[in-house]
Structure 1
Amino acid sequence: MSAAPPAGGIVDGHVHLWDTGAMRISWFAERLGLPRRVGPEDLARAVATAPVPVRAAVAVQAADTEGEARWLAAHAAAHDPLPGPVVPQYDARPGDPAAWAGMAQPLLDDGVPVAGLRLAVPGGAADLSDVAGLDALCAGLAGTGRVLETLVRPAQLPAVAALADRHPELDVVVCHLGLGAGQPDEAWRSALAAAAACPRVHAKLSGLHTAGPDDAGRVATIARTAVDLLGPERLLFGSDWPMSARVAPYAQIVARTARALPAMGDGASAAVWSGTAERLYGLTD
């Protein structure tokens, strides 16, 4: 039994691409120490250092404009096999009731391949009541076989659970386990347990690593809690590259995640490293 990535390879469930010269990224600042442009060719060089092949990667939109979403989709489509599925951000369009996908609706209407939409609201209301069109978004995603990704803080996880309960046909993916670089306290564990009680809630083992001296123990606690509550079949690895490159190179992020996970059988390991992502995002060989 092992938690190492299998020889068959990895599907990275969470990467970002952007080009600040082509479009404005609202949160981008020089102090963050990030490159101005990260394209598919940069990702290919990073993943080439992994101990096993990275067969595909889910490209999550970095900001929230239609132009940037189209840029991301075009670059994903032009670079085979990476990055792969595209997940734009959700930005509501309250004045247009037909636009259940918000900002991304024109992409869907134009037939641009979109695997899901991400609700990124960690600074919003704990009950998600300030998200316009949320139930219409969920119904639209479920009806078209797409996933809802959520970037939320621990206090919002019970609201994610309530949302999943209202939309039992929808697959929900919690980015960074709803915690990211935070501490795995009892409040987070209880909130994650509430979300895990919904059978179609999944989570990404992504965005967890820090440069702190006790990071290995902290991430091991997080990963093992996630396996206990969700099981391997509802977890997927994500590097959060290039954000993670500020902490460690790509190969080290893979290795640190593998060390954090408990030992598991071949089938369970394959689910975490590739199978769950393949199922959720419609990836086929």
Structure 2
Amino acid sequence: MSNHLFGGTVGGVVDAHVHLWDTAAVQISWFRDGLGLPARVGADDLARATGTSPVPVRAAVAVQAADTEDEARWLVRQADAHGPLPGPVVLQYDARPGDPAAWAGAAQPVVDDDAAGVAARVAGVRLAVPGGAADLSDVAGLDTLCEGLAATGRVLETLVRPAQLPAVAALAARHPALDVVVCHLGLGAGAPDGAWHDGLAALAAHPRAHAKLSGLLTTAPDDDARLAVAVGAAVALLGPERLMFGSDWPMSARVALYDEVVHRTARALPPLSGAGEDALWSGTARRLYGVVA
């Protein structure tokens, strides 16, 4: 695939979803042998991976892999030393019940840390609850989190399953001043069925709701057809101005090399205007996360 198929994006891509970690430096609660993942993925590894992209990757948004303060600070240090790859960071939400000042949960000390621009690196907080209640009723402090993010101009990211999309839509309705981003289209490797479509449509009704074209690829022989259906529905419902490309690297490397993730995402897209391509591949992420590269 040649660069001209990316239209206006030839100036560069912003990858809205990558992860970094170093299990020797900080504990990652879910990491174990047998996952097919390296024990360390640093900024140097990210630079090598993105260097294979058919269109230059100018910046990347790093999403915290786990949820501890030590790991959050480690990730911010990587961004500070190696930005824009990675650049802005999104920290994970782990509630602190009984502490009303900690609207960002375990991430609060980092969000509040103005030393050497630490807090300025934090562009948002992610709620990762795909195994939780469909109505998100089991998330402590959820509305307080949303209020804190809106007040500080940060983004709420959500990692949810399709049955939870209506609850995310309801959350967006309760907090109209907040930018809400759904990772992996709220679908991931699942089938884009009617229930998922209805949930995404409910979310799309709110003008500050967004989604990432990330974490969608599988190794199934007919996966490109499934991907085209999901991506096409997302474009029709949200428009390219509220969508972002994300590689989900290095998780995606178990399925496809970085350049293939870019190629397959591009092939799945319906025809877009130049402005639409610019938004999806870079502009929306720049706007939401404050990317300056």
TM-score range for the pair, normalised by the shorter chain length: over 0.9
Q: Indicate the SS of the match to 2:61.
A: strand
Measure, in 1, the Cα distance between the counterparts of 2:98 and 2:22. 30
Whole-angstrom distance in 1 between the partners of 2:169 and 2:5: 31
Please tell me whether the aligned partners of residues 234 and 276 of structure 1 are also in contact (alpha carbons under 8 angstroms).
yes
1:244 to 249, 252, 272: 252
Mapped contact 2:8–2:274 kept (Cα < 8 A): no
Counterpart secondary structure, 2:48: helix
Q: Which amino acid aligns with 2:59?
A: A
8 Å contact from structure 1 (residues 5, 52) kept in 2: no
Distance apart, 1:55 and its partner CA: 0.6
In 2, are the aligned partners of 1:3 and 1:264 still within 8 Å (CA)? no
Residue 133 (structure 1) aligned to one of 141, 156, 159: 141
Deviation at 1:188, TM superposition (A): 0.4
SS of equivalent residue, structure 1 residue 13: strand
> What is residue 207 of structure 1 aligned with on the other side?
215
What TM-score results when the alignment is normalised by the length of structure 1?
A: 0.98
Q: Map of 1:29-40 to 2, 5 A cutoff? A: 29-40=32-43
Aligned partner of 1:65 in structure 2 is 68
Instruction: Name the aligned partner's letter for residue 166 of structure 1.
Output: R
Residue identity opposite 2:133 in structure 1: A
Q: 2: distance between equivalents of 1:4 and 1:29?
A: 41
Within 5 Å, give how 1:73-112 maps onto structure 2.
73-111=76-114, 112=118
Q: After superposition, where does 1:230-241 map in structure 2 within 5 Å?
A: 230-241=238-249
Alignment equivalent of 1:159, drawn from 147, 160, 167: 167
Identity %: 73
Large movers: runs of 4+ above 2 Å: 1-5
SS in 1 for 2:167: helix
What is the CA–CA distance in structure 2 between the aligned matches of 1:51 and 1:94, rounded to whole Å? 46
Contact 1:3 1:261 in 2 (8 A): no
Q: In terms of mean alpha carbon deviation, does 83-92 or 107-116 score higher? A: 107-116
Structure 1 residue 245: deviation in Å? 0.5
Q: Is the 8 A contact 2:16 2:212 kept in 1?
A: yes
**RMSD (Å) for aligned C-alpha atoms:** 1.1
Please state whether the residue corresponding to 1:116 is helix, strand or coil. strand
Q: Report the Cα offset of residue 5 of structure 1.
A: 6.9
> In the alignment, which of 256, 259, 263 is matched to residue 255 of structure 1?
263
The 2-side partners of 1:168 and 1:151 are apart by 19
Q: Could you tell me which residue of structure 2 aligns to residue 228 of structure 1?
A: 236
User: Aligned-pair distance for 1:161?
Assistant: 0.4
The answer to whether the 8 Å contact 1:2/1:266 transfers is no
In structure 1, the gaps of 5 or more residues are none
Asked whether the 8 Å contact 2:20–2:75 carries over to 1, the reply is yes
* CA distance in 2 between partners of 1:236 and 1:27 (Å): 26
Paired residues of 1:153 and 1:179 also in contact (CA < 8 A): yes
Q: How many residues align?
A: 285
Picking from 29, 40, 53, the partner of 1:50 is 53
1:122-147 superposed Cα distances (whole Å, 9 cap, x missing partner): 00000000000000000000000000
- Residues 1:172 and 2:171 are matched in the alignment: no
Deviations 1:168-223 (A, max 9, x none): 00000000000000000011000110011111000000000000011000000000
- Correspondence 1:103-122 to 2 at 5 A: 103-111=106-114, 112=118, 113-122=121-130
Give yes or no for contact 2:8–2:275 (8 Å, CA) kept in 1.
no
Does 2:132 match 1:124? yes
Q: Is the 8 A contact 2:157 2:182 kept in 1?
A: yes
Is 1:283 matched up with 2:291?
Answer: yes
Q: Quick one: distance in 1 between partners of 2:203 and 2:73?
A: 32
Q: How far apart, in 1, do the equivalents of 2:87 and 2:47 lie?
A: 12
Aligned twin of 2:205: 197
**Measured at CA, do residues 172 and 18 of structure 1 come closer, stay the same or move farther in structure 2, by a change above 3 Å?**
same
Q: How does 1:7-26 map to 2 (within 5 A)?
A: 7-26=10-29
